[in-house]
Amino acid sequence: MKVALLIYGSLNTVSGGYLYDRMLVKQLRDYGDEVEVVSLPWVGYGRTLLHNFSRSLCQWLANADFDLLLQDELNHPSLFWLNRRLKRQVRYPLLSIVHHLRQSEEHSSTLRWLYRWVERRYLHSVDAFIFNSQTTRQEVARLVGKTSDVAQTSDIWQPHVVAYPGGDRFPTAVTKDEILHRAHKPGPLRVLFVGNLIPRKGLHTLIGALCQLPAPDWRLDVVGDTAVNPAYTRRILHNLPTAVTLHGSLPDAILADLMRHSQVLAVPSQYEGFGIVYLEGMGFGLPAIGTTGGAAVEIISDGVNGYVVQVADTAVLARHLHHLHQNRDVLATMSLSARQRFLAHPTWAQSMAGVQTFLHEQVKG
C-alpha cells in the first residue's frame, strides 16, 4: 500500500500530535507499507488558506500514485476547499487524522466563528477519519451537526476508527517498591509539568496554584519548548518563583529520568484532544492532574490515579496538591493506581496496528 501523509513542517516536531503521526508512519513502514511524507509550510493561519488556490499543489496531488492520502487535521485551513477540487480528480480516498479541533481552543468570538466555518467544511471534505479519543470523535460529531452521544458509534457519517495513543514511548521499568519509596520521600512535593510553553497548556494556572502553598512545600520542574510563544514565555518568566525550574526541551532519556524522580505530573490544559503525557507519566507511577477541558477524563479517574479539575481553577488545584504533599499514603496509593492504569492501556504498536488494518480496509473498499 502506498500512503502519503500531509503535514505542516517536520514530522519530528515536538508535540503529541506529531508523535502520533510518527508512530503511525513507523508502524506502516515496519510492516511493509510505503509512506511518503508531504510537508506544507506553516505560514500563519491566514496565509495557509491560500494553499487552497495553489494550482501546482492540486496538480501534484492529483497526479501522484497513492493508494490513499492521509492528512493531519492540523492542516485543515490549507485543504478545506482544495480537497473538494482534488476529489474530482483522484481515485484514492482522503483520510483525516484528528487530534483535536482548533475551534475547541479558546479564541475570540470572531476567530472562533471563522475557525468553525473553515473546520466544518474541511471535515465534510474527507472520506474517513482516525480519531485519537472518543472525546475528539464526539467533538467532530457535534461540529458537523450529528448527535453528541458518546455511546453511539454511528454518529459520524464516514468510516472512522478511534485509536488511542500509546504511553510506552519510554522504558518504564519502575517497581512497586520504587514508587512507594518515592511517594514517602520527605521534603517538598516534586511536581512535573511537560508541555510546550503556550497558554493552552496552562502552566500559568499551575504556577498560580502552587504559589498559594507554602514555599517550602513544593518544587516544580517545567519541560517544554520555550520558543513556541515568546510572549507567553516572557509572561511566565516575570517574577518566576525560585522553586520553579525551566528546563526547556529535553532529550527523551533525560525527561524519562526526571519523570522517574518526580512525584506528581500536573498539566492543567485548557483543552486536550487526548493528553499523551498523562499516560506517559503514569508509566512511571505519577498521578496525573488535568482538567475537564477535553479528553483527560478518558485517562484520569478523579481521586483514583489523579485529579480532574475545572479549567483555570487554581484554588481546587492548590488543594489537591496540598493534600498529596500532606498525605503521602494517599500519594502512594494513587501512584500505584496510576501505574496500573498505564499497564491496562494499549501500546503504541497495538493501537497503530488497528489503524493500519483500518487503512487497508479503506483501500480495498
Contacts (Cβ under 8 Å, ≥6 apart) of 145: none
In tens, the pLDDT along 69-99 reads 999 999 999 999 999 999 999 999 999 999 9
Q: Which amino acid is at 206?
A: L
User: What own/partner pairs with CB < 8 Å and gap ≥ 24 does 226-232 have?
Assistant: 226/197, 228/196, 228/197, 228/198, 229/196, 229/197, 229/198, 229/199, 232/197, 232/198, 232/199
> What does the H/E/C string look like for 233-296?
HHHHHCCCCCCEEEEECCCHHHHHHHHHHCCEEECCCCCECCCHHHHHHHCCCCCEEEECCEHH
Handedness of CA 33, 127, 24, 119 (dihedral sign): positive
In tens, the pLDDT along 291-350 reads 999 999 999 999 999 999 999 999 999 999 999 999 999 999 999 999 999 999 999 999
In tens, the pLDDT along 180-202 reads 999 999 999 999 999 999 999 99
Cβ(143)–Cβ(116) below 8 Å:
yes
- HSE of 164 in the Cβ direction (CA atoms, 13 Å)? 22
Which pLDDT score, from 0 to 100, does residue 365 have?
62
Residue 207 in 3-state DSSP? helix
Domains, the chain: 2-166+347-364 (3.40.50.2000), 176-343 (3.40.50.2000)
> Cα–Cα distance between 333 and 338 in angstroms, integer?
9
State pTM to two decimals.
0.91
In tens, the pLDDT along 85-143 reads 999 999 999 999 999 999 888 888 888 899 999 999 999 999 999 999 999 999 999 99
Burial of 35 by CB count in 10 Å (0-12 exposed, 13-18 middle, 19+ buried)? Answer: middle
| pLDDT band at 173; cut points 50, 70, 90 | confident
Q: Which of 286, 267, 180, 175 is nearest to 224 (CA)?
A: 267
Return the residue matching grid coordinates 496525573. 288
> Cα–Cα distance between 226 and 245 in angstroms, integer?
12
